[in-house]
A and B are shown apart, each in its own frame.
Chain A
Amino acid sequence: MKKNITINMFGQLYAIDEDAYELLKNYLDAIRQHFRKEEGGDEIADDIEGRIGELFTELKSSGVQAITIEHVESIIKRIGNPEDMESPAADGSADEATQTQNTSSTPEGQQQANSNTASTSANSGTKPNSGTRKKYYRDGNDKIIAGVLSGAANYFGGDPLAWRLGYVLFVVLWNSVSNWAIFDHFNFVPVFSIPILLYILLAFLAPCAKTPEERLKMKGIDVTPQNLADELAQQAKERGDGLPYPPKSKQHGCLNAFMTVMGVLVKIMIGAFFLFMFITFLVVFVALISIIFSPTNEMPSFIDSELIPIYTEHPFLFWFTGICVLLILFIPGYCALHSLLSSSGKTAPMSMSQRWMWFGLWIATIIAVTVCGVNISKIAHKHFMKDNTFEGVLMNNTDQNYFKLTQFHLKGANPDSNDVWHIHTEIGQYYDDRIRYFSAWDDGILDYYQIERADTFLSPGIYRLTAITRTDAQGAYLYAIADEKKLQTAIPANGEQGGNIWEEAKTKLSLNPADSLTYGGIVASNDSTGCGWNKVTLDNIVLTGNTIKYGVSTIPTFTNAPCYCTWVNSMDFLLEKVK
């Protein structure tokens, strides 16, 4: 049973099978296309169409109720392929090329005309003509995701299944290869995903072979009416069998099932990816909208606070980047939606120029966002540095607050160490791990560190300075300057073990075990070996004026002693008036 339609040719009505009509339409389109360039081309095409009408009329009067695809095929053979229709032009000489071209196809035409029409699907037109250039198409009839690989199999030859397995292997291998050090230079691209990106790109940019004409081009077969007829017949046969794929891929049942499952999984992943993109899009969109409509025109609280200075200082950059980010998310989503709609026949598929336009726009927005992102991160870095610098040294807010609270200042710091938190404050290694202390360390020798506090409005007298400190080698000093006279004492280099505080606690605890609340923790610390903390005292600081400056230094020019230590910790500075 076949669907039948009625066509009108020059006022005459003919009943024709649908597949026959499709073939006829393709044929007439090919003819019009062929003669389009020629003067009077439309007239020629009309004449041929008229001739077909004439032949249809003959068929009708010979008792044919409905024109079938076989009728159309035989008529096409009678009238010939457009390529065969060249004839000596008036000037003659320019025709040499077409003539030689004709002669190659004319014998074939005869041969085909002689062969049995009914057996067309047997030889199925798969005579790849050397003169035809294959075109890359995705194979819409044999696809698991988008038909990219079956298209490749058609284009380069080979079995689609082999291509699919090869591709999966390629993705896996690529993932291991992408860990190689050479790709470190390209880390702005997610290297691991390049094969997947290639697939997506081809799925988007390469056209899908849907019409018989495109399928012939995909297979590299000449687009001639005969071949079109064969392709149509083959498709009709496949549809009749109810097979989703051409029978040849059915041979590998098990592997094919595996590929199908993989395809479903990948489709789910793609779906999840698009969902993620959609949610991201919504979040960015809502954020941008809420900025516009917020009464104070300020950033809503859920936006990263690092973006606030960008927004207030560079609104154009902010908006431009925001819109580009939206586009980056929107374009693939839109195109995916469009392709979904077009594959279900609700809209026409995108033209190539549209595809390239979207693709170009997408690439442009990616470049724009990359460039803007670099600038934004530079600005953000500038702000970050401003917020996290204390007296010329990179320092986080906790450390800064500790300095401010204890009224200490940085007198010495390595200017080169700005990128590392060399000078900071810590908690955790004192006996009570809630107590914060000053800390400084270096990969090499810490011979540049000095912190200092100045106590002013003191009354003259004799003072004593104590501090709790530790260091790993000679060179760190506790100092005090009163009346421009410097006193200093070396910090004992116990490293991270022992120390006089631990010794004292041990002694006190052995004398009076009841004091374990005070001393037990200290004694037991660091597996009962102590943490190296020493109480250091500077006595007899004589002050006649009103200011004493004191602190810790490792700078040899200041301490007049070589420095070998690599780290210093200090805390609990206490300046007492003794007399």
Chain B
Amino acid sequence: MNIENAKSQMRKGMLEYCILLLLKHQPAYTSDIINKLKDADLLVVEGTLYPLLTRMKNGGLLKYEWQESTQGPPRKYYALTDTGSAVLVELDKAWNEIANTVNILKNIT
């Protein structure tokens, strides 16, 4: 079994959930999302994020508005939609279940 493979699959699976978590309390620029995910070691290449954001936006989970920047081009400012918040609640539940299961499995021995 390839450890890198398993790790990257885990990361990928969590990415959407983490983005929703990041935007739960305040909206953020794409670059902020990138930096935070990178800090959390969830993102290897930045490019992964853009298709994901677009898909989540198209799926109605996210919305954005253009914000003028003092230097450089205007930037997208992402926020959760109501659907996004609802999905986040669902995912929270799912995550707790998974975490529970994993904990139970860990403590079995």
Contact = CB atoms under 8 A, between A and B. Distances in A.
Interface stretch (A83-91, A141-149, A162-170): A83-91
A90 B50 contact: no
A12 B9 contact: no
A79 B46 contact: yes
A interface, by DSSP: helix, strand, loop or mixed? helix
A44 B9 contact: no
A253 interface: no
A57 B71 contact: yes
B26 interface: no
Nearest to A43: B54
A53 B72 contact: yes
A108 to B, nearest CB: 10
A342 B7 CA distance: 50
B39 interface: no
A103 B50 contact: no
A47 B54 contact: yes
Contacts of A50: 73, 75-76
A551 interface: no
Size band of the interface chain B makes with A: 20 to 34
A84 B47 contact: yes
A80 B2 CA distance: 21
B94 interface: no
A9 interface: yes
Contacts of A82: 47
Contact of B30 (A40, A47, A77, A78): A47
Identify which of A35, A102, A109 gathers the most chain B CB atoms within 10 Å of its CB. A102
B38 to A, nearest CB: 9
Interface in B40-82: 44-55, 57-59, 71-76
A54 B75 contact: yes
Contact of A54 (B50, B58, B73): B73
Interface residues of A, number: 40
A90 B53 CA distance: 12
Interface string A56-72: 01000100000000000
A99 interface: yes
A409 to B, nearest CB: 98
Given A40-B58, A50-B75, A110-B44, A88 B8 contact: no
B96 interface: no
Contacts of A11: 73
A38 B4 contact: no
B71 A88 contact: no
A44 B44 contact: no
A10 interface: yes
A51 interface: yes
Contact of A61 (B5, B31, B71): B71
A48 B76 CA distance: 12
A219 B44 CA distance: 28
B28 interface: no
Given A61-B71, A87-B15, A106 B8 contact: yes
A313 interface: no
Contacts of A106: 4, 8, 44
B51 A84 contact: no
A352 B10 CA distance: 44
B75 to A, nearest CB: 7
A527 interface: no
B2 to A, nearest CB: 7
Interface of A: 9-12, 31, 35, 38-40, 43-44, 47-48, 50-51, 53-54, 57, 61, 77-82, 84-90, 99-100, 102-103, 106-107, 109-110
The 6 closest A-B pairs by CB, nearest first: A80-B45, A10-B73, A57-B72, A80-B47, A85-B47, A103-B5
Interface of B: 2, 4-5, 8-9, 12-13, 15-16, 30-31, 34, 44-55, 57-59, 71-76
28 contacts: A10-B73, A11-B73, A12-B73, A35-B51, A40-B57, A40-B58, A47-B30, A47-B76, A48-B50, A51-B31, A51-B34, A54-B72, A57-B72, A77-B45, A79-B45, A79-B47, A81-B47, A82-B47, A84-B44, A84-B47, A86-B51, A87-B48, A87-B52, A88-B16, A103-B5, A103-B9, A109-B44, A110-B44
